[in-house]
Copies of this chain bind each other. A is one copy, B any other.
Amino acid sequence: LNIVVLPGDGIGPEVTGAALDILEAVSRSEGIELQHRDYPFGGAAIDACGQPLPEETLRACLASDGVLLGAVGGPGYDEAAKRGAPRPEQGLLGLRREMNLFANLRPSRLYPGLEAASPLREEVVAGTDILIVRELTGGLYFGEREEGTVSALDRLPYSAEEVERVARAAVQAAKGRSGKLVSVDKANVLATSRLWRMVVDRVAAEEGMEVEHILVDAMAMYLVSEPSRFDVVLTENLFGDILSDQASAVAGSVGLAPSASLSDPGRPGLFEPIHGSAPDIAGQGIANPIGAILSAALLLRYAIGAETAARKIEGAVEAALAAGLRTRDLGGRATTMEATKAVLQQL
């Protein structure tokens, strides 16, 4: 297993470090030969070589079996960008496009014992286990822009092909779960949402799967009022960005949520916690490493089909949380290192 690690900015290096500790332990016990190497990316790469996605980093990612990413961005880079510097986020968007990572899987699940960490009432949040499938290489993120100080324009383009391939990924995921598929759009306003709805209906019919369509504003409501009624939720790029962050907060903390960004079969994926670079706590050793650790589990599952190894990590995380592991974002005091040790112990 040959992986590329992109620690990135802020708490990125701290959480990828923790995830690597876990990956190494599981690889040893499962007989997986693990090779990994760090590459500069994001703000760190801007500092090192003036651009957020250096050519060498991209080449290594494309040649790997999978990429483990920490986080990118920070207020210093925002300031510099106002004066014309590149943004760390451009590196992330560039990597998503170059690796053709069109299907972004973002699970949000309430872990047993963590009921009290959710801002929602226990009876509302109990049983919540959502998989958001977010389209990741289209829409407003990749439409042509017109920057300006008098007026500006962003474009939201989608092709039927782009919708179809991510819809198939969502149907596939739903088949492996409860079989309930919800698709979220804004079809009462947007042309791309009407295209989206038409294609999703066609794919679902072909696959013999029922699909319920929900408008994005209503979905933002339901994710708060009845999160446990959802299973697989398919949506476009920006709606997925918003709803997956919301879902992670519902399930207790954004610090717990992993993600897998996948391309066509046989091509490498990218695995990253959904949290940001959290500049306010960077360098203090207190970041929650669980999102990154669970992303490493997804890497094992999707990169080399190492289902047993992936489950071992997920089981160890669940056991550690059930045994009382709580980082600060969960109202506890465990440091990044203590959290990592707690998971290692359960392994």
Which of A143, A147, A149, A238 lies at the interface centre, i.e. has the most chain B CB atoms within 10 A of its CB?
A238
Closest to A153 in B: B157
A114 to chain B, nearest CB (A): 14
* A248 interfacial by beta-carbon distance below 8 Å: yes
Asked if A146 contacts B217 (CB within 8 A), the reply is no
A73–B215 alpha-carbon span in the complex (Å): 13
The number of times this chain is found in the oligomer is 2
Asked if B249 contacts A225 (CB within 8 A), the reply is yes
Asked if A246 contacts B246 (CB within 8 A), the reply is yes
Q: In chain A between 132 and 167, which residues have their CB closer than 8 angstroms to a CB of chain B? A: 140-141, 143, 145-160
Known A-B contacts A141-B189, A224-B250, A225-B249; A151 and B119 likewise in contact (beta carbons under 8 Å): no
Closest to A189 in B: B141
A241–B215 alpha-carbon span in the complex (Å): 11
A102 to chain B, nearest CB (A): 15
Known A-B contacts A151-B158, A155-B155; A221 and B195 likewise in contact (beta carbons under 8 Å): no
* A124 interfacial by beta-carbon distance below 8 Å: yes
Contact with B along A236-251 (1 / 0, CB 8 A): 0011011111101110
Q: Which of B151, B155, B221 contacts A153 (CB 8 A)?
A: B155
A216–B248 alpha-carbon span in the complex (Å): 14
Contact with B along A197-223 (1 / 0, CB 8 A): 010000000000000000011101111
A228 to chain B, nearest CB (A): 11
A226–B55 alpha-carbon span in the complex (Å): 41
- Interface of A with B (CB < 8 Å)? 73, 78, 87, 89, 93, 119-121, 124, 140-141, 143, 145-160, 186-192, 194-195, 198, 216-218, 220-226, 238-239, 241-246, 248-250, 254, 276
A223–B246 alpha-carbon span in the complex (Å): 8
Q: Which residues of B contact A120 (CB under 8 A)?
A: 119-121, 224
Known A-B contacts A119-B224, A221-B248, A248-B221; A152 and B145 likewise in contact (beta carbons under 8 Å): no
A149–B32 alpha-carbon span in the complex (Å): 46
Q: Which of B154, B160, B245 contacts A191 (CB 8 A)?
A: B154
A239–B145 alpha-carbon span in the complex (Å): 19
Q: Which residues of B contact A157 (CB under 8 A)?
A: 151-153
Asked if B191 contacts A148 (CB within 8 A), the reply is yes
Q: Which residues of B contact A194 (CB under 8 A)?
A: 147, 152
Known A-B contacts A220-B242, A221-B245, A241-B217; A190 and B151 likewise in contact (beta carbons under 8 Å): no
Q: Which residues of B contact A250 (CB under 8 A)?
A: 224
Known A-B contacts A140-B156, A158-B152, A188-B87; A221 and B146 likewise in contact (beta carbons under 8 Å): no
Asked if B246 contacts A220 (CB within 8 A), the reply is yes
